């Protein structure tokens, strides 16, 4: 089996964590070639070459590839597809945009959010916000899949694979980038953070979200939010944890003022240790929490922030 | 300009999903079904385009079982002008794969020639997040996924997309396929008079065969199981006790 793993490259830098986790899944299938795509991605390609188990790195550079636009990148991946049995990528907003397009161009189904590789044709994936796990066997010639990174350990950096530059494809010119609004933050990235502190509707306002951020900063944690908090405008959407947001599995997840709707649990229930702070002792979040504290969050969170060394 | 809005009939988002004991799937018999929540947002946006004078007609399409008529009537009651039902299976438990759905929608597009397709970004049953992207591939059109702002300006549309880390704004060439995210709008409720009116709006019925699309699945579902249950932990009495417990397990 020959697997083409599409690396996650942001602004020319390899997202090591998500790529290394998807690599672990890819290695269970066969020999892995990594594709780095960007307006400049030689650094990302060098970083990918160091990941253990990578046999080769392809680097495709073009201005058309600088902003994760689906149409030119899908065309590039399709042009390479005849050499591979599998095309996979860590499940990110970029790959979720691009890979289904690739699959349809190849007339194959996409296998989204793979959580386990059973064999080269058979995969597990969650459905219904993780309330059921489906095992699917693909009959397609080429398997195109996104890998849910939270369920795979990251591969080590112990390799030195060969890096080859490849030509870019013609840009179909269907869309153009205008601007990015990316919040600059010193906090760890949500999907790869070791600790995540999330706030829900119970936090009550955008201003009061600062106490969630205060606890997060004390713990060196990323900040998350429930869909209810995002819908209410307390937190930006890129903080959203859940079925329609990000899926996280940190060592410690602290849920503050979050009731624990099914769609939120779908995004965090694989965390190693879950702490819930909620004043409603009947809140469903307590059913998945290792440690539950029934308390007013405005009282408990500042105390907790103080008491953590 | 015509707007095409695909809508899916899914288990209502408030219903607790039950996995069948024999591993054959999720129990959908006698369960409340509703329009996929993201598709409601797409219908709303289509109606707003029409209200703003940017679209002439809103066509809702649903693919699946005959009962999808109800979902289409909901779209019509919200304000869609007419509906097309493509019957692709008789069994409510058969989920038509995004690739087959995209092929059917492509066939509908060839007939209707819309200027824009507004679709939900993801169905809350199979969580595939694929139909819009696949349809864009099959039509060769531009795609704008996970959209939280949309403005149509002549031959192009400027969209803001929800991406990891923030927002991205891109300009796409029309015709285009847009998949909508939560924050695009707040869908309206259908009023009673509009529900009554919707019963008289045209609803065409076709089959997948009529459109020449083979809906045989590419992914064979071997089994469907319950996720591993997480054991409930303990309640602690105070912040002090919580900190102590977290130290014990090495979490802080």
Q: Encode pLDDT of A34-68 as tens digits.
A: 999 999 999 999 999 999 999 999 999 999 999 99
Which residues 190-229 in chain A show a CB within 8 A of chain B? 191, 219, 227
pLDDT tens across B7-57, in order?
999 999 888 899 999 999 999 988 999 999 999 999 999 999 999 999 999
Structure tokens at B134: 């696949």
Candidates A180, A187, A166; CA nearest to A94 is A180
Residues of B in contact with A173 (CB under 8 A): 173
Average pLDDT on A216-229 reads: 96
State percent of chain A over pLDDT 70: 100
Average pLDDT on B107-124 reads: 98
Q: Determine whether the interchain pair B219/A111 forms a contact, defined as Cβ–Cβ distance below 8 Å.
A: yes
Nearest CA in chain B to A270: B230
Dihedral of CA atoms A97, B108, B111, B207 in degrees, nearest 10, equals 160
Q: Determine whether the interchain pair B145/A97 forms a contact, defined as Cβ–Cβ distance below 8 Å.
A: yes
Average pLDDT on A120-135 reads: 96
A-B C-beta contacts closer than 8 Å: 255
> Residue A32's pLDDT is what?
98
Strand pairing partners for A177?
B170
Q: Residue B231 — pLDDT band, cuts 50, 70, 90? A: confident
pLDDT tens across B146-194, in order?
999 999 999 999 999 999 888 999 999 999 999 999 889 999 999 999 9
Cα(A198)–Cα(A221) distance, integer angstroms: 10
Average pLDDT on B226-239 reads: 90
Candidates B29, B16, B37; CA nearest to A131 is B16
Q: What is the mean pLDDT of chain A?
A: 96
pLDDT tens across A90-113, in order?
999 999 999 999 999 999 999 999
Residues of B in contact with A66 (CB under 8 A): none
State percent of chain A over pLDDT 90: 92
Nearest CA in chain A to B185: A231
> Residue B52's pLDDT is what?
97
> Residue A159's pLDDT is what?
83
Q: Which among B122, B142, B225 has CB closest to A132? A: B225
Dihedral of CA atoms A165, A170, A174, A178 in degrees, nearest 10, equals 40
- In this complex, is the C-beta atom of A135 within 8 Å of any C-beta atom belonging to chain B? yes
Q: Residue A153 — pLDDT band, cuts 50, 70, 90? A: very high
- In this complex, is the C-beta atom of B127 within 8 Å of any C-beta atom belonging to chain A? yes
pLDDT tens across A164-220, in order?
999 999 999 999 999 999 877 889 989 889 999 999 999 999 999 999 999 999 999
Q: Determine whether the interchain pair A182/B165 forms a contact, defined as Cβ–Cβ distance below 8 Å.
A: yes
Which residues 190-209 in chain B show a CB within 8 A of chain A? none
**Preferred mutation among B96, B150, B157, B219 to probe A, highest tally of A CBs within 10 A:** B219
Residues of B in contact with A279 (CB under 8 A): none
> Residue A227's pLDDT is what?
94
Cα(A157)–Cα(A53) distance, integer angstroms: 9
If you write DSSP's letter for every residue of A161-223 in order, what string do you get? -EEEEEPPPPP---EEEEEEEE---SSPPGGG-SEEEEE-GGG-STTTHHHHHHHHHHHT-EE
Q: Determine whether the interchain pair B235/A293 forms a contact, defined as Cβ–Cβ distance below 8 Å.
A: yes
Cα(B114)–Cα(A177) distance, integer angstroms: 24
> Residue B192's pLDDT is what?
96
Pairing of strands A175-182, B166-173: antiparallel
Helix, strand or coil for residue A235? Answer: coil
Report H helices in B90-215.
98-112, 131-139, 192-198
Cα(B179)–Cα(A105) distance, integer angstroms: 18
For residue B232, pLDDT beyond 90: no
Structure tokens at A259: 């009731």
Q: Is the ipTM of this complex over 0.90?
A: yes
Cα(B148)–Cα(B128) distance, integer angstroms: 19
For residue A243, pLDDT beyond 90: no
- In this complex, is the C-beta atom of A82 within 8 Å of any C-beta atom belonging to chain B? no
Give, as one character, the DSSP assignment of residue A242: S
For residue A309, pLDDT beyond 80: no
């Amino acid at each position: 089996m020959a697997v083409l793993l599409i690396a996650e490259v942001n602004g020319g830098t390899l997202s090591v964590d998500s790529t290394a986790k998807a690599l672990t899944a890819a290695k269970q299938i066969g020999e892995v070639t990594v594709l780095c795509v960007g307006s400049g991605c030689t650094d990302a390609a060098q970083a990918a070459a160091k990941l253990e188990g990578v046999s080769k790195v392809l680097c495709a550079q073009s201005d058309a590839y600088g902003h994760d636009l689906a149409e030119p990148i899908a065309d590039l991946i399709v042009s390479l597809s005849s050499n591979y049995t599998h095309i996979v990528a860590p499940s990110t907003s970029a790959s979720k945009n691009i890979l289904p397009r690739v699959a349809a161009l190849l007339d194959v189904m996409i296998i989204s959010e793979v959580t386990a590789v059973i064999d080269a044709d058979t995969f597990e994936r969650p459905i219904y916000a993780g309330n059921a796990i489906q095992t699917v066997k693909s009959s397609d010639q080429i398997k195109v899949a996104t890998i849910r990174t939270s369920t795979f350990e990251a591969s080590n950096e112990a390799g030195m694979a060969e890096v080859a530059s490849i030509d870019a494809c013609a840009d179909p010119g269907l869309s153009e980038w205008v601007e990015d609004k990316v919040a600059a933050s010193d906090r760890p990235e949500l999907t790869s953070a070791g600790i995540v502190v999330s706030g829900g509707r119970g936090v009550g306002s955008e201003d009061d979200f600062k106490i969630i951020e205060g606890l997060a900063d004390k713990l060196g944690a990323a900040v998350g939010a429930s869909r209810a908090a995002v819908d209410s405008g307390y937190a930006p959407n890129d903080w959203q944890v859940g079925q329609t947001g990000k899926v996280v599995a940190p060592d410690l997840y602290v849920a503050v003022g979050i009731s624990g709707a099914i769609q939120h649990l779908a995004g965090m229930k694989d965390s190693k240790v879950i702490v819930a702070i909620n004043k409603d002792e009947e809140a469903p979040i307590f059913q998945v929490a290792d440690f539950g504290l029934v308390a007013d969050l405005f009282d408990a969170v500042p105390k907790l922030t103080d008491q953590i060394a | 300009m015509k707007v095409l809005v695909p809508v899916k009939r899914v288990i209502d988002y408030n219903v607790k999903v039950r996995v069948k004991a024999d591993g054959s799937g999720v129990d959908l018999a006698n369960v409340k079904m509703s329009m996929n929540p993201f598709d409601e947002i797409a219908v709303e946006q289509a109606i707003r385009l029409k209200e703003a004078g940017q679209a002439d007609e809103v066509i809702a399409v649903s693919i699946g079982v005959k009962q999808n008529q109800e979902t289409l009537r909901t779209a019509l009651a919200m304000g869609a002008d007419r509906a097309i039902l493509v019957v692709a299976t008789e069994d409510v438990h058969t989920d038509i794969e995004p690739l087959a759905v995209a092929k059917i929608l492509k066939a509908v597009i060839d007939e209707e020639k819309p200027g824009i397709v507004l679709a939900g970004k993801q169905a809350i049953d199979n969580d595939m997040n694929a139909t819009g992207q696949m349809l864009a591939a099959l039509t060769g059109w531009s795609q704008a996924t996970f959209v939280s702002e949309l403005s149509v300006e002549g031959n192009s549309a400027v969209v803001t997309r929800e991406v990891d880390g923030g927002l991205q704004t891109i300009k796409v060439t029309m015709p285009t396929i847009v998949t909508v995210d939560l924050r695009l709008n707040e869908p309206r409720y259908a009023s009673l008079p509009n529900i009554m009116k919707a019963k008289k709006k045209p609803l065409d019925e076709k089959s997948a065969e009529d459109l020449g699309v083979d809906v045989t699945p590419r992914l064979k579902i071997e089994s469907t199981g319950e996720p591993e249950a997480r054991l409930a932990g303990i309640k602690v009495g105070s912040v002090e006790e919580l900190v102590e417990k977290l130290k014990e397990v090495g979490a802080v």
